[in-house]
Amino acid sequence: MNLMFPFLGLNKGRALNEQPAATSVYLNNVRPYDVLGNRLRGGQRPGLDKLYTQQIGGSDAMAIVAVCSVTKVS
């Protein structure tokens, strides 16, 4: 299945089955341009508030810098 990122943004003017290509009826915290490379590739907008009140991942000197997802195929 080929899924397209909704680069043309939010469109609530039509029924779900009549949506123009590259639009969506529901978007939440997404943006079309990459911040660092200014490339059109879609991504998540950064949050404005902290998700957790407690420190996660140790002290400031040992902050989490990356998260990896591993899938095992057998």
Q: What pLDDT sits at residue 33?
A: 80
Q: Can you give the residue ranges of every domain in the chain?
A: 1-46
Q: For residue 66, which amino acid is it?
A: A
Label residues 47-57 b or e (16+ Cβ within 10 Å = b).
eeeeeeeeeee
- pLDDT tens across 52-71, in order? 777 766 666 666 667 777 78
Task: Decide: pTM greater than 0.85.
Answer: no
Q: Is the pLDDT of residue 2 over 70?
A: yes
- As a whole number of angstroms, the distance between CA 40 and CA 31 comes to 9
Secondary structure of 5-56 in HEC code, one letter for each residue? CCCCCECCCCCHHHCCCCCECCCCCEEEECCCCCCEEEEECCCCCCCCCCCC
If you average pLDDT over every residue of the chain, what do you get? 79
- As a whole number of angstroms, the distance between CA 60 and CA 37 comes to 27
